[in-house]
């Protein structure tokens, strides 16, 4: 059996129960050191995964099924968390404001952005300090603004409509 087989690499949970664990564990628990049991478990796992692919494929093709995913569902595959102001977004805003800056006059929208983030997060943020920080520090090392992006956008939207 290949050394790359680890049952812990696979998980399908229904409720709080890992159905793969339930399906394959009995084979392995009989004699964990027996390579024949490990081969049986690998074969059972492959068959189970094949069956699950067919079942999930059928569900996905159904017209009247919806999937509700919670906040953070995309994080393991590189999604951006909205729990804080994402640094790439802030950097893009700073770059845009720098392009629009005329002499020493900073665009009003970026001033408003940092005023709202300061008030909501109880911090002290400004275009000048944040832009210098992003210029002098690697983006990954810049301290994030601890403020939910949706809360910030909601306040900005309120200001826009006022």
> Model confidence over 24-51: pLDDT tens digits?
766 666 565 667 777 777 888 888 889 8
Q: Decide: 81 and 117 in contact? Cβ < 8 Å.
A: no
Mean pLDDT of 137-162: 87
pLDDT of residue 73: 80
pLDDT of residue 91: 95
Q: Decide: 40 and 27 in contact? Cβ < 8 Å.
A: yes
The rounded percent of the chain whose pLDDT value lies above 70 is: 88
Q: Decide: 94 and 130 in contact? Cβ < 8 Å.
A: yes
99 alpha-carbon distance from chain centroid: 30
- Higher pLDDT, residue 138 or 75: 138
pLDDT of residue 124: 94
Look at the pTM and tell me if it is higher than 0.85. no
Q: Is the pLDDT of residue 150 over 90?
A: no
CA atoms within 13 A of residue 126's CA, in its CB half-sphere:
5
Q: Decide: 59 and 65 in contact? Cβ < 8 Å.
A: yes
Mean pLDDT of 109-119: 94
Q: Is the pLDDT of residue 110 over 50?
A: yes
């Amino acid at each position: 059996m290949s050394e790359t087989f680890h049952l812990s690499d696979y998980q399908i949970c229904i409720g709080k129960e890992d159905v793969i664990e339930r399906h394959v564990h009995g084979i392995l628990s009989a004699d964990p050191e027996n390579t024949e049991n490990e081969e049986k478990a690998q074969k059972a796992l492959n068959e189970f995964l094949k069956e699950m692919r067919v079942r999930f494929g059928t569900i996905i093709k159904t017209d009247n099924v919806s999937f509700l995913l919670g906040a953070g569902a995309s994080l393991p595959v590189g999604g951006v968390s909205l729990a804080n102001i994402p640094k790439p977004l802030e950097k893009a805003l700073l770059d845009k404001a720098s392009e629009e800056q005329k002499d020493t006059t900073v665009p009003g929208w970026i001033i408003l952005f940092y005023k709202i983030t300061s008030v909501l997060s109880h911090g002290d943020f400004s275009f000048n300090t944040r832009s210098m920080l992003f210029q002098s520090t690697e983006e990954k090392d810049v301290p994030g603004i601890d403020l939910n992006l949706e809360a910030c956008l909601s306040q900005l939207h309120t200001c826009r409509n006022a």
